[in-house]
Chain A
Amino acid sequence: MKRRTLIQTAGGTALGMLGAGLPLVGHTQDRYAKYKGQTVVMSIPAHPHYDAMLKILPEFTRQTGIKVETDRLAMARMKDKQLLEMAKPSGDYDLCCYVVMWKGEYVKKNLIREIEPFLKNQALADPDYDFKDLVRPYVENIGLVGGPRGYLPGPGARLFGLPYGAETSILAYRRDLFEKHGLKPPTTYAEFEKLLPVVREKTGIGALTSRGQAGHQCVHAWLLHLNPMGGGIFDDKWKPHFNDETGVKALNFLKLVSETGPIGIPGFGQGEMITSFLQGQSAMYLDSTLIFGQVNNPQVSKIAGQVSYVLHPKGTVYASQSGGLGLAIPKNAKNPDAAFLLLQWLTSKAQDKAVTKVGGVPSRVSTIGDRDMVLQYPEFITLRQQIEHIDLDWRPIIAEWDEINIQALGVAVSEALTGKKSPQDALNGMIPKVTEIMKRGGYLKG
């Protein structure tokens, strides 16, 4: 299902009604008074956006009297801890940051609360919140569960979280090097393919940096190319078809990226991929918009002021990544109302600007379009266009995805990258395993 269709079918669903259903009263009452002195415990990852959040958090306590404790963990360990906490009768967490892939599982296991009742609670909801100002594809991707395919907007979809650290993909390139060598950034994958060896040859550094480590990282890199080329993991009936012509073409493209990129891509995690670009070892970067806050930070970047951005190149379609982080309230939270107040405050217009200003990523249309913000981040002009091309079906957000992602595709893509198998053989080899996982999950009969 393509994005345009999804947006149309989303009309009249939970999300459509939420904007209209917000309370009209409550301006003057102090919604925080009742919760003053309570402590909201928050599970957050070690992540640049949440590092930025920590800078604005003291202001919340100053304004409201509600204290906040954060439990900061490496992203990879956060889910285990959250599952253990949320499975207890009374958990330690009041507000949890989650990766978009986990939303279906958390809802299926009845671990997180619906957000709509909070938004409709006049005692809690801020009438100036302006829900519709949140970037709609971010909300749909991060927050909705129960719609078509279980994770898309449409009939049956309900809101379980709000975007906070959501992202899409964008192409960043070294303007100085491109100007020096008379190069143009690619607008299509055909141009992209031709450009990679040329950039490598002319600049002497890696053409495009990329993730490549076995598991989630290399699959992420492959999906970045697979979707614009018109491919996918499953057909409409959940039958895997990632080994078709498009899947192989996307994997061949990733191999080309690895061959013309900085040395060591098959071992690169997200950190190495970003560092390569920021330290001037690669001429291009095609990945998360998280890079915005880091490019001009002299503590981590040698390329400040030398980077420009263009849209994620088009294959047969435009299809940029949908992903990133959101915030949800656990079912067993001790202070759910205070947690909602914090969630609402963090995602409010003022605080969205505040966190963006100190290096976080924006979640609101008003932030991306704000004059001061655009002066600080001129790339928001491109981001506004890129958001239009977010593919909400960029990857299947089903409970089985982690296993498919890491233990099946994550091995196949990695084996193709190192040359152990050809892309066709590597992908063919994983069809039985993925089919078995989907049968076990009840998606396929047999």
Chain B
Amino acid sequence: MRTPRWVPWVYAGPAVVVMAVACLYPLLSALQLGFYDWSMGTPWSEAKWVGLDAFLRAFQDPAVWRSLVTTLMFAAVCVVSEMVLGIALALALEGKVRGMAVFRTLFILPMMIAPIAVGLTWRYLFDAQFGLLNALIELFGAAPIGWLAQENTAFIAIIIADIWQWTPFVFIMMIAALANVDSAVLEAARVDGANWWQATFRVKLPMVMNVIAITLLMRLIDAFRVLEVIYILTFGGPGDSTEILSLHIYKTAFVSQRLGGAAAISVLLLVVVASLSWFALRLSNPLKDEGRS
């Protein structure tokens, strides 16, 4: 018996409606907010229509563009490092080695810690006077460093904190993907004379490329949204050297009380993230093959 055409809509409809409302409503609200001058704590009826003013102001503000460049640099360094480290760790720990379950659990712990706690922990570790890092380098006779007091070292500090927290996410995704690789294919490669490098880079990793693409996409999106750790670690400083776009949006909304301006910059952030996501999906789109079948 042929399934009527409306049946899939009945099954998928409620979920589609919920998703559409949950995703679209905040997005449309942000867009709407961008056209108004409204301050928190005042009734919406007092909001003033300003048209494209907030968008124009955002695009003309050098601080926004500086912040975007910082964000792109931060995202590029963090995501590339996390992908490389996460995949390397997964490859190293995928085999059946005694006590590996304990290691795997330890590796994913940072991901489970609240970002505020991560920020505070690294703030103490990087502390110029009492931090563990300076204590270690002083053991080797080096002078202590004001990690969070200089632009370059502060930027390195936020990157280290992000890599520490989110490499486990890549690791856990990859270890799951590698576990599902058909051992017969690997066995065939070995029979054909492939060494470890060839088996890994020409067989194993291409077979999990879809998972790599999705993981890359998720990390990319997250890297653009990170806020709490940087808020606690540097608050965007010194100067505005670590002020990534999400922190700039936060300050515009809650410090300057310009919610319209913050919404306009959020739209800019959305465009950037959507473009990068589209590019990442072009590398390997896991849904493309399903659509064809």
Within 8 A of A (CB), among B233-261: 234-240, 251-252, 254-258
In the complex, are the beta carbons of B257 and A267 less than 8 A apart? no
CA gap between A212 and B138 in the complex, in Å: 24
**Top-8 shortest CB links A-B:** A214-B237, A264-B128, A267-B148, A264-B146, A266-B149, A403-B256, A267-B149, A83-B41
Closest to A415 in B: B239
Chain A interface SS verdict (over half): helix
In the complex, are the beta carbons of B236 and A214 less than 8 A apart? yes
**Interface range on chain A (Cβ under 8 Å from partner):** 35 or more
Q: Is A275 close to B, CB under 8 A?
A: yes
Q: Is B63 close to A, CB under 8 A?
A: yes
For residue B59, which residues in chain A have a CB less than 8 angstroms away from its CB? none
30 of the cross-chain contacts (CB-CB < 8 Å) are A105-B41, A109-B39, A109-B41, A111-B41, A212-B149, A213-B148, A213-B234, A213-B235, A215-B236, A215-B237, A262-B128, A263-B128, A263-B144, A263-B145, A264-B146, A265-B146, A266-B238, A267-B128, A267-B146, A267-B234, A268-B149, A272-B129, A275-B130, A403-B257, A406-B255, A407-B252, A414-B238, A415-B239, A417-B238, A418-B150
In the complex, are the beta carbons of A87 and B129 less than 8 A apart? no
Q: Among the listed A87, A266, A402, which residue makes an inter-chain contact with B146, where contact means beta carbons less than 8 Å apart? A: A266
For residue A375, which residues in chain B have a CB less than 8 angstroms away from its CB? none
Q: Is B174 close to A, CB under 8 A?
A: no
In the complex, are the beta carbons of B236 and A399 less than 8 A apart? no
**Given contact pairs A84-B40, A264-B127, a sample of 11 additional A-B residue pairs in the complex whose CB atoms are under 8 Å apart:** A83-B41, A87-B42, A215-B235, A263-B129, A266-B237, A267-B149, A272-B127, A402-B255, A403-B255, A407-B256, A420-B238
Most interface-central of B42, B63, B129 (chain A CB within 10 A): B129
Closest to B256 in A: A403
Q: Chain B residues in contact with chain A, CB under 8 A?
A: 39-43, 63, 127-130, 144-151, 154, 234-240, 251-252, 254-258
Q: Among the listed A109, A217, A264, A407, which residue makes an inter-chain contact with B147, where contact means beta carbons less than 8 Å apart? A: A264
In the complex, are the beta carbons of B40 and A264 less than 8 A apart? no
Q: Is A411 close to B, CB under 8 A?
A: yes
For residue A420, which residues in chain B have a CB less than 8 angstroms away from its CB? 151, 238-239
In the complex, are the beta carbons of B41 and A213 less than 8 A apart? no
Q: Is A136 close to B, CB under 8 A?
A: no
Within 8 A of B (CB), among A295-335: none
Digitize A251-279: 1 where CB-to-B-CB distance is under 8 Å, 0 elsewhere.
Answer: 00000000000111111110010011001
Q: Is A179 close to B, CB under 8 A?
A: no
CA gap between A349 and B127 in the complex, in Å: 41
For residue B42, which residues in chain A have a CB less than 8 angstroms away from its CB? 87, 109
CA gap between A212 and B154 in the complex, in Å: 14
Q: Among the listed B129, B130, B147, B239, which residue makes an inter-chain contact with A414, where contact means beta carbons less than 8 Å apart? A: B239
In the complex, are the beta carbons of A399 and B257 less than 8 A apart? yes
Closest to B153 in A: A267
Distance (whole angstroms) from the CB of B172 to the closest CB of chain A: 31
CA gap between A406 and B257 in the complex, in Å: 12
Distance (whole angstroms) from the CB of A330 to the closest CB of chain B: 10
In the complex, are the beta carbons of A262 and B40 less than 8 A apart? no
For residue B127, which residues in chain A have a CB less than 8 angstroms away from its CB? 264, 272
In the complex, are the beta carbons of B234 and A281 less than 8 A apart? no
Distance (whole angstroms) from the CB of A408 to the closest CB of chain B: 9
Q: Chain A residues in contact with chain B, CB under 8 A?
A: 79-80, 83-84, 86-87, 105-106, 109, 111, 212-215, 217-218, 262-269, 272, 275-276, 279, 281, 399, 402-403, 406-407, 410-411, 414-415, 417-418, 420
Distance (whole angstroms) from the CB of A212 to the closest CB of chain B: 7
Distance (whole angstroms) from the CB of B54 to the closest CB of chain A: 12
In the complex, are the beta carbons of B255 and A281 less than 8 A apart? no
In the complex, are the beta carbons of B151 and A418 less than 8 A apart? yes
Q: Among the listed A83, A109, A212, A262, which residue makes an inter-chain contact with B129, where contact means beta carbons less than 8 Å apart? A: A262
In the complex, are the beta carbons of B147 and A267 less than 8 A apart? yes
For residue B43, which residues in chain A have a CB less than 8 angstroms away from its CB? 87
Q: Among the listed B39, B146, B240, which residue makes an inter-chain contact with A411, where contact means beta carbons less than 8 Å apart? A: B240
For residue B40, which residues in chain A have a CB less than 8 angstroms away from its CB? 80, 83-84, 87
Distance (whole angstroms) from the CB of B38 to the closest CB of chain A: 11
**A266 and B150 contact, Cβ closer than 8 Å, known pairs A402-B257, A415-B239:** yes
For residue B254, which residues in chain A have a CB less than 8 angstroms away from its CB? 79-80
Distance (whole angstroms) from the CB of B36 to the closest CB of chain A: 15
Q: Among the listed B63, B129, B258, which residue makes an inter-chain contact with A281, where contact means beta carbons less than 8 Å apart? A: B129
CA gap between A411 and B127 in the complex, in Å: 21
Q: Among the listed A106, A281, A415, A418, which residue makes an inter-chain contact with B149, where contact means beta carbons less than 8 Å apart? A: A418
Q: Among the listed A262, A272, A402, A414, which residue makes an inter-chain contact with B237, where contact means beta carbons less than 8 Å apart? A: A414
For residue A418, which residues in chain B have a CB less than 8 angstroms away from its CB? 149-151, 238-239
CA gap between A87 and B41 in the complex, in Å: 5
Most interface-central of A214, A262, A410 (chain B CB within 10 A): A214
CA gap between A263 and B251 in the complex, in Å: 28
For residue B257, which residues in chain A have a CB less than 8 angstroms away from its CB? 105, 399, 402-403
CA gap between A402 and B128 in the complex, in Å: 28
For residue B255, which residues in chain A have a CB less than 8 angstroms away from its CB? 402-403, 406-407
Distance (whole angstroms) from the CB of B235 to the closest CB of chain A: 5
For residue B149, which residues in chain A have a CB less than 8 angstroms away from its CB? 212, 263-268, 418
For residue A264, which residues in chain B have a CB less than 8 angstroms away from its CB? 127-129, 146-149
CA gap between A403 and B258 in the complex, in Å: 9
Most interface-central of A212, A279, A281, A411 (chain B CB within 10 A): A411
CA gap between A265 and B40 in the complex, in Å: 33
**A406 and B238 contact, Cβ closer than 8 Å, known pairs A264-B148, A267-B149, A399-B257:** no
Distance (whole angstroms) from the CB of A134 to the closest CB of chain B: 27
CA gap between A272 and B130 in the complex, in Å: 10
